[in-house]
Structure 1
Amino acid sequence: MTLALHAYARLSTWPDLRQVEPSCGLGQALASVHGEIAHFHSGRDVDLLLTERAIRRLARDLRASDAVRIVPRSQWVTIRLDASSDIDLLLTLVSVALQAQQQRIPRAADTAPVGCNDQRGAGFVKVDLGSG
């Protein structure tokens, strides 16, 4: 079982989450009563809807983690699951995401979050800087 499947199985038991079809059409997704919250795109990558406010509040900690990718102008972050500790990080961030969705105050200028990071081609990409 991949780390993403293990995390998905654990989160699927949370009473505030339910399994849904991902709006991006790829993989599996979980949603709260307020909408989609996590997309599991591969055995390693999970896109998580944190909201702009939560990302701003946690930006320094998120950037310090090698497991988290922040994409500019996206309310989604991508978490790379390489170790069991990354699952713990994901579970913590899902709790933050649930709270952020509950506290979100809709404004006239608010729009639905643009698609997850997978739709932006913003997953983890390794660049080979050694060839030349």
Structure 2
Amino acid sequence: MTLALRALTRLASWPDLAEAPPNCGTGRALRSEQSEIVHLHTEQDVDLHLTVPAIRRLETYLRDETAVRVVPGSDWVTMRLEVDSDIDLLLTLVSAALHAHRTQPAPADTPSPGCNEHRGMALPRNGFGGN
């Protein structure tokens, strides 16, 4: 079983998440009552709808995580699942995303922001060195 499928299996059991078609049309998605939260695009690549305020609050931490790619101006972060501990990080960040969407929901007439799928994928761990 791939890491993404293991993550999907664990997250799909959460009461606040339900599987739904992704708005980008690629892979599988989980959504809360408020918004799409997780897009699993490939066996390793995941987009997570954290919201801009949550990304700002966690930015220092996120930039230190080699599995996470922050895309400037996006409400989403991209993760590359390569080791078991990346699933644990994803679960933690999904919890933060759910909290962010509950405490600062977007107005009902706000269009759903697109994920990072068409903005490029996360780099493998060895692609982050030296910056």
TM-score with structure 2 setting the length: 0.89
Mark the structure with the bigger radius of gyration: 1
Could you give the per-residue CA deviations for residues 100-131 of structure 1, whole angstroms, max 9, x where no partner exists? Answer: 00011546xx94342100022x2124699xxx
Alpha-carbon contact 2:44-2:81 (below 8 Å) kept: yes
Cα pair 1:75 1:113 within 8 Å, conserved: no
The match for 2:43 is 43
Residue in 2 that maps onto 1:94: 94
Deviations 1:38-65 (A, max 9, x none): 0000000110000000000000000000
Unaligned 5+ runs, structure 2: none
Aligned-partner Cα distance in 2 for 1:125–1:85: 17
- 1:62 is aligned to 62
Match of 1:124 in 2: 122
**Cα distance, 1:69 vs. partner?**
0.2
* CA 5–106 in structure 1, closer or farther in 2 if over 3 Å, else same: closer
Distance in 2 of aligned mates of 1:125 and 1:83: 14
Which residue is 2:113 aligned to? Answer: 114
* Contact 1:16/1:33, CA 8 A, preserved across alignment: yes
Task: Report sequence identity in percent.
Answer: 54
TM-score when normalising by structure 1: 0.88
Distance 2:5 2:121 in 1: 18
How far the C-alpha of 1:80 sits from its partner, in A, is: 0.8
* Structure 2 match to 1:16: 16
- Give the root-mean-square deviation of aligned CA atoms: 2.0
Q: Secondary structure at the match of 1:26?
A: coil
Other structure's SS at 2:13 match: coil
In the superposition, relative to structure 1, how do residues 106 and 5 fare at CA in structure 2: closer, same or farther (>3 Å)?
closer
Distance 1:2 1:88 in 2: 14
Q: What secondary structure sits across from 1:48 in the alignment?
A: strand
CA distance in 2, matches of 1:61, 1:113: 26
Q: Aligned partner of 1:124: which letter?
A: A
